Amino acid sequence: MTGTVTTATVQELTPDQLLDAYRVMRTIRDFEERVHKEFATGEIPGFVHLYAGEEASATGVCAHLDQRDTIASTHRGHGHCIAKGVDVKAMMAEIYGRITGSCQGKGGSMHIADLSKGMLGANGIVGGGPPLICGRALASKYKGDGGVAVAFFGDGASNQGTTFESMNLATVWNLPAIFVAENNGYAEATSSTWSVASDNIADRAAAFGMPGVIVDGFDFFAVHEAAGEAVARARQGGGPTLIEVKFTRYFGHFEGDQQLYRAGEVADARERLDCLKRFRARVTEQALVPVDRLDAVDAEVAKLIEDSVAEAKAAPKPGAEDLLTDVYVSY
Ligand SMILES: Cc1ncc(C[n+]2csc(CCOP(=O)(O)OP(=O)(O)O)c2C)c(N)n1
Ligand SMILES: [Mg+2]
């Protein structure tokens, strides 16, 4: 059954939880805006895909997760990493290819991983995440550790066979798995109206015998509520859920994309729909969090990002002596 979440409950969140959510979204936004600026200087090697505009998805889902839980990400993975608690300075250093990075500077933007945080990795393979979380969810089910595994994937990835196979398996094995389809309207330059056969990705849940929910991805509270239900169901042995989160990415597919395939929609989304603006408006209108506490978070995050870039630039790159380390994992 597919349902649309229309009302989201602010009341269930304490002021501290609201501030945490705001901090995560603000950190992702500032991180991405800064990487966008720095990439243009030519100092950042490799490909970079930015998550700005989509913050409410990673934040709303990961707010329900703890150290038992794991996530699998995509090529657009910075937001997922930050929301799951990966160290922001180590992430920035990784993007700069420095030895102090999350993967000792050998992975770059598209391969940031931190297993200690339950972050299985960004992934250059479109549709690579869903099979990973089936394995992880199966492990949790067998161990009985209460863990839930979440795969974030795009509208493009929603058409991959790996995604269909994983959703099928998740129901057949009744796994504590959650599939979060981040529908930003495009796979590279191809509109999802051209490439996704169903009107809604969430409608496909019915074919795999799991609940499907469509959520306004610019609304943290809507994502948070839908994810809360899905996580609770998974933890209680109720099986998988597909959540479709709809929004717009603010930057191009990759840094350098001329975006000749779209016009106007980003300015409109930034102006009218932006998740941070809406969050701020909602919590201040209802006097749930004082404005000065939100402003203090803005200042702290700005400093964190500034320091992250400065420290990343000052850190050494891996040397020849690091070439053969971290290549194989010994079990
Ligand atoms: C298996 C595979 N096929 C194709 C690609 C090339 N590719 C990289 S990103 C991308 C589009 C992905 O779109 P979507 O899943 O909607 O994610 P978004 O970039 O919108 O976040 C494609 C086709 C790839 N990396 N892996
Ligand atoms: Mg997409």
What tens digit of pLDDT does each residue of 159-216 get?
Answer: 999 999 999 999 999 999 999 999 999 999 999 999 999 999 999 999 999 999 999 9
Query: Which backbone phi and psi does 7 adopt, to 5 degrees?
Result: -115, 135
Q: Is 80 in the pocket of ligand 1 (CB under 6 A)?
A: no
* Ligand 1 atom nearest residue 128's Cα: 1
Provide φ and ψ at 17, rounded to 5°. -65, -40
Q: Which region, left, alpha or beta, applies to residue 193 given φ > 0 means left and ψ of -120 to 50 means alpha?
A: alpha
Identify the three-state secondary structure at position 180: strand
For the Cβ of 53 lying below 6 angstroms from any atom of ligand 1, the answer is no
- Burial string for 106-126 (b: 16+ CB within 10 Å, else e) reads bbbbbbbbbeebbbbbbbbeb
DSSP 265-316: HHHHIIIII-HHHHHHHHHHHTTSS-HHHHHHHHHHHHHHHHHHHHHHHHSP
Is the pLDDT reported for residue 7 higher than 50?
no
Cα(141) to centroid(ligand 2), Å: 31
Does 78 contact ligand 1 (Cβ within 6 A)?
no
**Residue 223: pLDDT above 70?**
yes
Which residues on adjacent β-strands are paired with residue 81? none
Cα separation, 121 vs 209, in Å, equals 28
Measured from the CA of 54, which atom of ligand 1 is nearest? Answer: 21
Does 9 score more than 80 pLDDT? no
Q: Does ligand 1 have an atom closer than 6 angstroms to the CB of 246? A: no
124 lines ligand 1 (CB under 6 A): yes
pLDDT band at residue 1 under the 50/70/90 scheme: very low
- 100 CA to centre of own chain: 23
> At a CB cut-off of 8 Å and minimum separation 6, what does 125 contact?
none
**In b/e form, how buried is each residue of 222-234, taking b as 16+ CB within 10 angstroms?**
bbbbbbbbbbebb
Residue 2 three-state SS: strand
pLDDT score of 3 more than 90? no
Q: Is the pLDDT of residue 2 over 70?
A: no
| Mean pLDDT, the chain, whole residue set | 95
Give the pLDDT of residue 186.
98
Which ligand 1 atom lies nearest to the CA of residue 253? 19
Ligand 1 pocket member 156 (CB < 6 A): yes
Angle ∠(7,10,16) on CA atoms, nearest 5: 160
CA of 188 relative to ligand 1 center, distance in Å: 6
Report the atom number in ligand 1 closest to the C-alpha of 184: 20
On the question of pLDDT at 316 being above 50, the answer is yes
Tens of pLDDT, residues 300-311? 999 999 999 999
**Which homologous superfamily is 2-312 in?**
Thiamin diphosphate (ThDP)-binding fold, Pyr/PP domains (3.40.50.970)
pLDDT of residue 328: 81
pLDDT at 125 over 80: yes
Q: Is the CB of 155 under 6 A from ligand 1?
A: yes
Q: Determine how many CB atoms are found less than 10 A away from the CB of residue 67.
A: 10
Query: Residue 11's pLDDT is what?
Result: 58
Tokens of 112: 């940031």
How many whole angstroms from 47 Cα to the centroid of ligand 1? Answer: 13
The strand pair at 149-154 and 241-246 is best described as unpaired
Tell me the domain boundaries of the chain. 2-312
Is the pLDDT reported for residue 74 higher than 90?
Answer: yes
Proportion of the chain above pLDDT 90, given as a percent: 93
What pLDDT sits at residue 327? Answer: 81
Among 47, 125, 126, 246, the mutation site with the greatest number of ligand 1 atoms within 8 A of its Cβ is 126
How far is residue 247 from each of residues 21, 162, 303, measured CA to CA in Å?
A: 18, 23, 28
The pLDDT assigned to 160 comes to 98
The answer, yes or no, to whether any atom of ligand 1 lies below 6 A from the CB of 76, is yes
Pairwise CA distance, residues 266 & 112, whole Å: 27
The residue type of 187 is A
C-alpha to C-alpha distance for 172 and 165, rounded to whole angstroms:
10
> How far does the centroid of ligand 2 lie from the alpha carbon of residue 181, in Å?
9
Instruction: List residues bridging with 183 in a β-sheet.
Output: 246
Would the pLDDT of 10 be above 70?
Answer: no
Q: Which amino acid is at 262?
A: R
Q: How confident is the model at residue 6 (pLDDT cuts 50, 70, 90)?
A: very low
Strand order through the sheet with 70-72: 2-4, 212-216, 241-246, 177-183, 149-154, 70-72
Calculate how far, in angstroms, residue 327's C-alpha sits from the geometric centre of ligand 2.
31
> Which of 55, 57, 75 to mutate to test ligand 1, by most ligand atoms within 8 A of the CB atom?
75
**How large a percentage of the chain has pLDDT more than 70?**
97
- Could you read off the pLDDT of 246-301 as tens digits, one per residue? 999 999 999 999 999 999 999 999 999 999 999 999 999 998 999 999 999 999 99
Q: Which residue has the tokens 């995560």?
A: 24
Tens of pLDDT along 42-51? Answer: 999 999 999 9
Task: Retrieve residue 83's tokens.
Answer: 């929301």
Q: Which atom of ligand 1 is nearest to the CA of 160?
A: 1
Quick check: 143 pLDDT over 70?
Answer: yes
Among 36, 33, 120, smallest CA distance to 74 is for 120
Burial of 199 (0-12, 13-18, 19+ CB in 10 A): exposed
CB of 181 shorter than 6 A to ligand 1:
no
